[in-house]
Amino acid sequence: MNPAFLALVTIVGGVAACVSYFYAANLILDKFLFPPDGPNAGRNINRANLIRPWLFLFPALFVLTLYLAYPVIETIRLSLTDRSQDGAFVGLDNYTQMMSEPKFWEAMRNNMLWLIVVPALSTAIGLLAAQLTDRIKWGNIAKAIIFMPMAISFVGAAVIWKLVYDARPPDAEQIGILNALYIWFTSDEPQQWLTIPFWNNFFLMTVLIWIETGFAMVILSAALRGIPEETIEAAIIDGANPFEIFFKIKVPQIMGTILVVWTTITIKVLKVFDIVFAMTNGQWETQVLANYMFDKFFRANDWNVGSASAMVIMLLVMPILVWNVFNARKEMR
C-alpha cells in the first residue's frame, strides 16, 4: 500500500475510531448500564459518574503505560539479565562491565560538562536577551531571530554548525567563519575544531546553547513582564541603578521561573543524542551517554549493557522528576 494512502487512512480511521469509542462508551454507560431514570436513577447517576472518568482516560492511560511505564520496567529487567544466557539474572554484572569501559567514563565526564555548561549559559544568555529585548522597539524581531533555532532540527543545526567549524588546507581560502576569524586575528594555521580533544566538547555544546537560548529567553521574558511594577518603581525612587534593579529586584523575583528553565534544559541535555551523532559520533573524546547507549544497542547489539546505560540516564533524570512531581502537587493544593 502506498504510504501516503496509508497515512490518510490512518488519520481518518484514527480520528473516527477515537470519536466513536468515546461516543459509544458513553452511550452504553448512559443507556444500558446505568440509565439515569427508573427506580434507581440517583444511584445510577452516581455510579455512571464514577466510571465515566476512566472511560475518558482509558486510551491515553493505555498508551502511556505501554509506551512509557512498561519500557522503564522492562529496561530495568534487561539491565539485570544477560541475553546471551537466555535472559538469566546476572545481578549487577552489566553495570560492572559498563563501568570497566573507558568510553563509559568518557561519556560520563562529558555529560557532566554538558550538564554544567549548557543549562547555565543558555539560561544566562536567555535572561540577558530577555532583559535587553524588552527595552527596545525592535525587540520582537530580535526575539524571533534568537528564538528561531528552536524550530530547526538537531541534525539541521549540526550541518549549520559544521559549516561554521569547517577547516580547509592552510593555503586555501577558508570557508568556515570560525577559522576565517581565527586566522584573521592570530595568523595561525586553520584548526580542525571538532578534533581537538576536550575543547571540541564545547564546540558541540555551542550548538545546543544556540538552540536552547531562545526557549529560555521566551519563558524568562514573560516572567520579567509579570514582575509587579511597584517594586521596580520603588527601587528607582530609592536610587538604585539599572544593574542593581536587575540583579537585586528582578532576578530574585523570577528565581522560580529560572529554576524551571534550568531543569527543563537539563533534561534536554541528558537526552542529547542527534548533535553528537551527526557531528562527531563520539569520536575524538566527545562521547555522551545517549550516544554511548545507541552505540551499545544498535552497533554492538549489546542490549543488556545498553539498558544499564539507559538506567544511568534515568537515574540522572530522577531528582528532576521528583522535584517536578513535588511542585505539581504543591500547585494543585
Partner 1 sequence: MDNIAGSKSSLTWAVHISVVVLVLLWLFPTLGLLVSSFRTADQIYSSGWWGSIFTQESQNPAIRISGEETRDGPLYVNEGDLFPQTDAIVSAWGTSSRAPQAHVPGDTVQLKDDWQLTLDATGKYRLTSPTSFQGTRLPRIFTTATAPPEFTLENYETMLFSPTNSENMVKAFFNTLTVTIPATIIPILVAAFAAYALAWMRFPGRALLIAFIVALLVVPLQLALIPLLKLHLNIGIGKGYVGVWLAHTGFGMPLAIYLLRNYMVGLPKDIIENARVDGATEFQIFMRIILPLSFPALAAFAIFQFLWVWNDLLVGLVFLIDSTGETTIMTRQIIELLGTRGGNWEILATAAFVSIAVPLIVFFTLQKYLVRGLLAGSVK
Interaction with partner 1 in 194-223: which residues (CB under 8 A)?
210, 213-215, 218-219, 222
If binding is defined by CB under 8 A, does position 88 make contact with partner 1? Answer: no
Q: According to CB under 8 A, which residues from 151 to 190 bind partner 1?
A: 151-156, 158-164, 166, 168, 172-177, 180
- Collapsing DSSP states into helix, strand and coil, what is residue 150? helix
Compute how many residues bind partner 1; rule: CB under 8 A.
118
Q: According to CB under 8 A, which residues from 255 to 284 bind partner 1?
A: 260-261, 264, 267, 270-271, 273-274, 277-278
Nearer to partner 1, 39 or 239 (CB): 239
If binding is defined by CB under 8 A, does position 45 make contact with partner 1? Answer: no
Question: d(Cα 242, Cα 16) in Å, to the nearest integer?
Answer: 58
If binding is defined by CB under 8 A, does position 307 make contact with partner 1? Answer: yes
The number of residues making up the chain comes to 333
If binding is defined by CB under 8 A, does position 234 make contact with partner 1? Answer: no
CB-facing half-sphere around the CA of 52: CA atoms within 13 A: 12
- Please give the grid coordinates belonging to residue 312: 544511568
Question: d(Cα 73, Cα 99) in Å, to the nearest integer?
Answer: 22
Of 81, 121, 149, 308, which one interacts with partner 1 (CB under 8 A)? 149
Residues 6+ apart with CB under 8 A from 329: none
CB 225 within 8 Å of CB 157: no
Nearer to partner 1, 247 or 298 (CB): 298
Question: d(Cα 295, Cα 283) in Å, to the nearest integer?
Answer: 12
Nearer to partner 1, 188 or 233 (CB): 233
Closest CA to 202 of 89, 120, 312: 120
If binding is defined by CB under 8 A, does position 314 make contact with partner 1? Answer: yes
Q: How far is CA 57 from the centre of its chain?
A: 26
Q: According to CB under 8 A, which residues from 24 to 43 bind partner 1?
A: 26, 30
- Collapsing DSSP states into helix, strand and coil, what is residue 89? strand
Q: Near partner 1 by CB under 8 A, which window of 85-93, 112-120, 140-148, 193-201?
A: 140-148
Of 47, 59, 117, 244, which one interacts with partner 1 (CB under 8 A)? 59
Nearer to partner 1, 116 or 150 (CB): 150
